[in-house]
């Protein structure tokens, strides 16, 4: 069946939205999701469950479907078959307001996508004010709190071109968090960074995990995925070929294709 796409709170003092799913189930669930571009099948009957306050790492070669999966989960791409659920409610139902869904999901891409003519504070408060209708004072107070937490307290008045790549990516993460998302999707957020800046951004993700933020991360940083993830999914040709705890997937892969992929990673010194 082809699907057509069409007030959150957080506990005080924490970044994560701790509102439970209605049935205590996963925050995000994909059922038999299929996505094609012309004759090319990018996702093949993908099934995935993301429990609350956990980190799911998507690994695999470029073109394996990791980024497309995230874009489908945020309704930036229309799926061709299957269903996607957020807190038990189907968000790929044609009657669903896609914009309302996106207000509950934060997304950070490898490109920072900051508005160059706006200060850091203006970039961060734009969506809370314009989309969520927060008063300016409340939006700015929330933004300043997050910027301080992520080590950017003194940069609120700076313009993006005055920041390092790592600082810009941290601003992009703050912008995603400012709307108090139920779920955070991170798509290769270190891919555009110089090696010396990767650590500071990954440190932010570690902090978010400790705060209990539910995250799905597409990454080529294998050592980081092994450290931070609660579950790892290896994608190959649009299929979730293997999933499991990091120690199992990285230490004792059950699929030959997973093993070959990890062998190349090890030879390259990335694991």
In terms of domains, do 233 and 126 share one? no
In terms of domains, do 52 and 158 share one? no
- Report pLDDT for 3: 45
- Report pLDDT for 7: 38
Please tell me whether residue 101 adopts helix, strand or coil conformation: helix
- Report pLDDT for 195: 83
State the residue range of the domain holding 158.
113-181
Backbone angles phi, psi at 66, to 5 degrees: -60, -50
pTM: 0.88
> Is 158 a member of any domain?
yes
In terms of domains, do 208 and 82 share one? yes
Q: Into how many domains does the chain fold?
A: 2
In terms of domains, do 197 and 80 share one? yes
Query: Using CA atoms, how far apart are residues 154 and 174, in angstroms rounded to an integer?
Result: 14
> Is 135 a member of any domain?
yes
**CATH number (domain holding residue 31):** 3.40.50.300
Low-confidence ranges of the chain (pLDDT < 50): 1-13, 18
In terms of domains, do 150 and 166 share one? yes
In terms of domains, do 31 and 73 share one? yes
> Is 96 a member of any domain?
yes
pLDDT tens track for 23-56: 579 999 999 999 999 999 999 999 999 999 999 9
Note whether 160 and 168 are within 8 A (CB).
yes
């Amino acid at each position: 069946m082809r699907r057509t796409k069409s007030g959150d709170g957080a506990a005080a003092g924490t970044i994560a939205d701790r509102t439970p799913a209605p049935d205590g189930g996963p925050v995000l669930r994909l059922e038999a999701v299929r996505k094609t571009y012309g004759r090319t099948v990018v996702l093949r009957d993908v099934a995935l469950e993301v429990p609350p306050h956990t980190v799911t790492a998507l690994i695999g070669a470029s073109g394996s479907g990791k980024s497309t999966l995230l874009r489908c989960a945020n309704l930036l791409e229309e799926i061709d078959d299957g269903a996607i659920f957020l807190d038990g409610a189907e968000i790929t139902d044609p009657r669903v307001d896609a914009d309302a869904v996106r207000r509950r999901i934060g997304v950070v891409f490898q490109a920072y996508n900051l508005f160059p003519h706006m200060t850091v504070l203006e970039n961060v408060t734009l969506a809370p004010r314009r989309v969520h209708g927060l008063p300016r004072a409340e939006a700015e107070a929330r933004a300043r709190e997050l910027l301080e937490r992520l080590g950017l307290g003194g940069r609120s008045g700076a313009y993006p071109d005055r920041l390092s790549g790592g600082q810009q990516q941290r601003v992009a993460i703050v912008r995603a968090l400012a709307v108090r998302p139920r779920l955070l999707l991170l798509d290769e957020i270190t891919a555009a960074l110089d090696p010396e800046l990767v650590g500071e951004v990954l440190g932010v993700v570690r902090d978010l995990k400790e705060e209990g933020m539910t995250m799905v991360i597409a990454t080529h940083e294998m050592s980081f995925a092994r450290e931070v993830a609660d579950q790892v999914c290896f994608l190959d040709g649009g299929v979730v070929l293997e999933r499991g705890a990091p120690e199992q997937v990285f230490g004792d892969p059950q699929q030959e294709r997973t093993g070959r992929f990890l062998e190349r990673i090890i030879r390259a010194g990335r694991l």
